[in-house]
Structure 1
Amino acid sequence: MTAVVINGREVALASRTRTTQRVQSFVDQHGRAPGLATILIGNDPASEVYIRNKRRSATDAGLIDVHHHLPADVTQNTVAQLIDDLNADPAVSGILLQLPLPDGLDQTELINRISPAKDVDGLTTLSQGRLARGVDGLWPCTPAGVIELLDATGVTIEGAHAVVVGRSELVGHPAAELLLRRNATVTIAHSRTRDLAAVTSTADILVVAAGIPALIGRDHVKPGAAVIDVGIHRTESGLIGDVRFDNVLDIAGWITPVPGGVGPMTIATLLSNTVVAAESSAR
């Protein structure tokens, strides 16, 4: 058996097409497009690439691009004031603060400064609390993209045993919460789990977001399982994930590649969240 390779680029393209249509409907109804404000602090090369891709995708979808690039030595108060200004700007539907931040800035305080109504990254404490309580809101982009990938492949989530490897606030915890909302039985594992393979090999759905290159091999995977690899690591031989793709390919039922799997879904969900935020504020 060879796994079905899940094409995240195709699923993301379909999502972005739907978003573009919703943007046009919003413009037709309200006479303006939703605006996505991005904040980049410092000159980290990877962050610059990520922001450039997000801004280009937003513009392609018809969103208004509102970008602020601040120096690495900017003060906490200056960033906080900018976020307050964007919160109050009716032309801005969503705010994204690119992470990580330079040393000296309080990341948690600045994230929580973002209005939950404009928290298109789904990272504020209130947004995450809503997710944990089962209240509708704006969900973190990567975990929401994982769910959309599973739905696009026809994988049954309800009743399945899902194992999430990783417990970060960005991916692990929200992915587990979203799977629970879809009636999966969820186990959270991590790098310190004893006999990790014994846990992961029982999973019908295995979401790997541990941030450890090539952590998961064939002994960790149940035959026929859906394997979603969130990890991405730059090596001399190219990009790899948390899963040993070639090693697992002939035992999994479905698997995402790196690159081209989960990554495109993160931006697609960011765009969708921005339109959702605009529609909610216009009601």
Structure 2
Amino acid sequence: MTARIIDGKALAESIRNKVAAEAAELKRSHGIVPGLAAVLVGENPASQVYVRNKVKQTTEAGLASFEHVLPAETTQDDLLALVRQLNADPKVHGILVQLPLPPQIDPDLVIATIDPAKDVDGFHVENAGRLVVGQESLVPCTPQGSVLLAKTVHPDLTGLEAVVLGRSNIVGKPVAQLLIAESATVTVAHSRTRDLEAVCRRADILVVAVGRPEMVKGSWIKPGATVIDVGINRVPGENGKSRLVGDVDFKEAMEVAGAITPVPGGVGPMTIACLLANTLKAAMVANGLTPPSF
């Protein structure tokens, strides 16, 4: 068996095109331009690249982009003042503060200060709580993208056994809640799970988000399962260059799984696409309009 490769780039492009079309219609019919503010503190190279990509794709989709780059020594009070300013700005519908933040700044306090209606990362406790109880909310982008990718293989997830390997607030927990909302039977596994390999092997859908390069081997995967690899790890490659790998041993998994996301080109592109969709949604809800589904 050779697994089908799930093309995250193609699905992300489809979502971005839909966002662009909806944003153009929103501007034409109501004079509203969805606005996304991205805040970067410090000079983390990976964060700089990520924010640059977000700004580029935001503009390409016809949304307004507001970029705020602050020095690493920025105080917590100054950052919170900026967040409150963005909360009050009617042109800004989505606020994204790039993590990680410098050590003098409490990320939980920053996230708690963002207006939940503008929390397009879906990290605010109000949005997290709404997700748990099944109410409408802004949903974290990477989990949202992961489930959308799984649904390209299984349009109806009802009754399927899903195992989420990882329990972070950013990916593991919200992706589990989204799968529950799709009526899957969900197990959240982690480093303390007994017989972890056997638990993973039960999964019709295996979502892996642990941050450990190629941890999940082919023997951990149920034949024919759908594998969503959220991990992005940089490891040594040939000629002294590094390469990106996921949390799943891709070569081994390809021989067992029915479908699998590659790294790169799987979940990664979906994160920004879902961020743009969340920004559009926030803008429409703020103006009493019904947003489209993606």
Find the aligned partners of 1:119 and 1:246 in 2 and give their Cα distance: 37
Find the aligned partners of 1:32 and 1:179 in 2 and give their Cα distance: 33
Q: What one-letter code is carried by the residue in structure 1 that aligns with 2:140?
A: P
Question: Residue 259 of structure 1 is aligned with which of 264, 269, 272?
Answer: 264
Further displaced range: 188-197 or 221-230? 188-197
Q: What one-letter code is carried by the residue in structure 1 that aligns with 2:277?
A: S
User: What's the counterpart of residue 195 of structure 1?
Assistant: 195
5+ unaligned residues in a row in structure 1: which ranges? none
Are 1:239 and 2:241 an aligned pair? Answer: no
User: What's the counterpart of residue 282 of structure 1?
Assistant: 287
Find the aligned partners of 2:156 and 2:261 in 1 and give their Cα distance: 16
Are 1:271 and 2:276 an aligned pair? Answer: yes
User: What's the counterpart of residue 59 of structure 1?
Assistant: 59
User: What's the counterpart of residue 177 of structure 1?
Assistant: 177
Identity between Structure 1 and Structure 2 (%)? 51
Cα root mean square deviation, aligned? 0.8
Find the aligned partners of 1:275 and 1:86 in 2 and give their Cα distance: 17
Are 1:95 and 2:100 an aligned pair? Answer: no
* Residue 154 (structure 1) shift: 3.5
- Equivalent position SS for 1:187: strand
User: What's the counterpart of residue 150 of structure 2?
Assistant: 150
Find the aligned partners of 1:154 and 1:187 in 2 and give their Cα distance: 18
* Residue 36 (structure 1) shift: 0.3
Further displaced range: 5-14 or 188-197? 188-197
User: What's the counterpart of residue 23 of structure 1?
Assistant: 23
Contact map agreement 2:153 2:226 (CA 8 A) in 1: no
1:154-203 CA-to-partner distances (Å, cap 9, x unmatched) read 35411000000000000000000000000000000012222111100000
Q: What one-letter code is carried by the residue in structure 1 that aligns with 2:207?
A: V
* Residue 219 (structure 1) shift: 1.2
Contact map agreement 1:155 1:226 (CA 8 A) in 2: no
User: What's the counterpart of residue 83 of structure 2?
Assistant: 83
1:237-259 CA-to-partner distances (Å, cap 9, x unmatched) read 21000000001101100000000
**How many correspondences in the alignment?**
283
- Equivalent position SS for 2:152: helix
User: What's the counterpart of residue 127 of structure 2?
Assistant: 127
Find the aligned partners of 2:74 and 2:30 in 1 and give their Cα distance: 36
Q: What one-letter code is carried by the residue in structure 1 that aligns with 2:166?
A: G
Contact map agreement 2:34 2:64 (CA 8 A) in 1: yes
User: What's the counterpart of residue 39 of structure 1?
Assistant: 39
Find the aligned partners of 2:134 and 2:79 in 1 and give their Cα distance: 31
User: What's the counterpart of residue 221 of structure 2?
Assistant: 221
Report the TM-score, using the length of structure 2 for normalisation: 0.95
Q: What one-letter code is carried by the residue in structure 2 that aligns with 1:219?
A: S
Contact map agreement 1:212 1:242 (CA 8 A) in 2: yes
Cα distance change of structure 1 residues 156 and 225 upon mapping to structure 2, 3 Å threshold:
farther
Find the aligned partners of 2:209 and 2:156 in 1 and give their Cα distance: 20
Q: What one-letter code is carried by the residue in structure 2 that aligns with 1:93?
A: H
- Equivalent position SS for 2:192: coil
Find the aligned partners of 2:174 and 2:157 in 1 and give their Cα distance: 15
* Residue 235 (structure 1) shift: 1.2
User: What's the counterpart of residue 111 of structure 2?
Assistant: 111
- Equivalent position SS for 1:153: coil
* Residue 43 (structure 1) shift: 0.4
* Residue 278 (structure 1) shift: 0.2
Q: Structure 1 runs of 4+ off > 6 angstroms?
A: none
* Residue 33 (structure 1) shift: 1.1
Contact map agreement 1:216 1:242 (CA 8 A) in 2: yes
